Amino acid sequence: MSVPQTEKIARPPDYGRKFALLAVIFAAAFVTSFMIGRYPIDPVTFVKVLLSHALPADFAILIERTWEDAADTVVMRVRLPRVMAAALIGAALSAAGAAYQGMFRNPMVSPDILGASSGAGFGAALGILLDLGYFGISAAAFLFGLGAVLLAYFIAGKSRINAVLAMVLSGMMVSSVFTSATSFIKLIADTEEVLPAITYWLMGSLASIRGRDTLFLAMPVLPCLLILILLRWRINLLTVGEDEARAMGVNTGRLRAAVILCATLLTASSVAVSGMIGWVGLVIPHFCRMLFGHDYSRLIPASCLFGAAFLIIVDDIARLLATNEIPIGILTSFIGAPVFVWLILKGGAGDDR
């Protein structure tokens, strides 16, 4: 006997299958990125090179060396740091965007809302102007990105208006100040060498990533991602409002500070290594929200996986699409801007509840 249509019970979404699909896409993008490029690597050679470095020396010598030294260099010294950096940055920006969107209860919020990207951009421009070297430029970008958010948080703490609104307004002000300061540096910079270097860095690129950069990136990114994943259940409480969260026994001040600190470190460290890569922290969490709903216990891990796979794929396109490598920030803008318009038309700026 068939059940009437009105009495059929809707099946709950199969989130496990969706997570498995995301994991497969990420793994496929990660592995494929090692084999494609101007120096293609066949799958057998890739596996042999990887095993020769991953296995202990006693076992590695059993692998017949059928590849050239160039293949070893391309896989281990060029593509491995770059692909890992793309995965870390994609996951970091996406997770930071999702966390900020939950805290501000607005899916239109991006990781640079409190000025981290603008501060990091100014720090990098200053480092290039002062010729601090690659490490000095990255360190300056990281410190100024962190400092910009701390300044915005300090100003918001002195305000008497709503705490969330005060942070948004102070973040806009701080971002504007650092953007103007970056423009001033570009104005006084040498037009032959310094200005082009600043301009290219602000476009965002992973072309110069090396092993030390990936290590520098992993030290703040991995712990902060772990903390956000552990806090993902509590981030749900921030989306229901201050009074409701406090009624459930949650210290909203401490939780908000922890989320801001982790999201800021994720954003600042990413921008310090790769330059300005926009839209990832806005677009990816929204797509994950469409697939996994508004529950941050699913949204944060999904954003990490989706963001990592997305930026790996975009970086592959950036280095294969043209003869000269395209800055990755340009490609993410081409993708993000139409999605942003679609979100506006769809009315996506509503409360994230």
Beta strands per DSSP E along the chain? none
Residue 82 is predicted with a pLDDT of 95
Find, among 257, 253, 248, 255, the residue nearest to 232 by Cα. 255
pTM of the entire predicted model: 0.89
Alpha-carbon Rg for the chain, nearest whole angstrom, is: 22
Joined tokens for residue 221: 């990114």
- Above 70 in pLDDT, residue 12? no
Query: Over the stretch 149-178, which tens digit does the pLDDT of each residue have?
Result: 999 989 988 888 877 788 889 999 999 999
| Residues 295, 342: Cα–Cα separation, whole Å | 22
Q: Please name which of 338, 291, 330 lies closest in space to residue 314, comparing C-alpha atoms.
A: 330
- Residues near 141 by Cβ (< 8 Å), separated by ≥ 6? 120, 121, 123, 124, 127, 268, 271, 272
Per-residue model confidence as pLDDT tens digits over 278-332: 889 988 998 898 889 889 999 999 999 999 999 999 999 998 887 788 899 899 9
* Distance between CA atoms of residues 278 and 93, nearest Å: 9
Residue 45 has pLDDT above 60, yes or no: yes
pLDDT at 241: 66
Rounded (10°) angle between helices 252-274 and 211-230: 160
Residues in the chain: 353
CATH superfamily to which 15-346 belongs? ABC transporter involved in vitamin B12 uptake, BtuC (1.10.3470.10)
Q: How far is CA 302 from the centre of its chain?
A: 13
Mean of all residue pLDDT scores within the chain = 87
Position with higher pLDDT, 48 vs 106: 48
**C-alpha dihedral, 184 to 188 to 191 to 195, nearest 10°:** -40
* Segment (H or E) for 315: helix 296-320
Using the predicted structure, report yes or no on whether residue 216 has a pLDDT greater than 70.
yes
For the chain, which residues make up each domain, given as ranges?
15-346
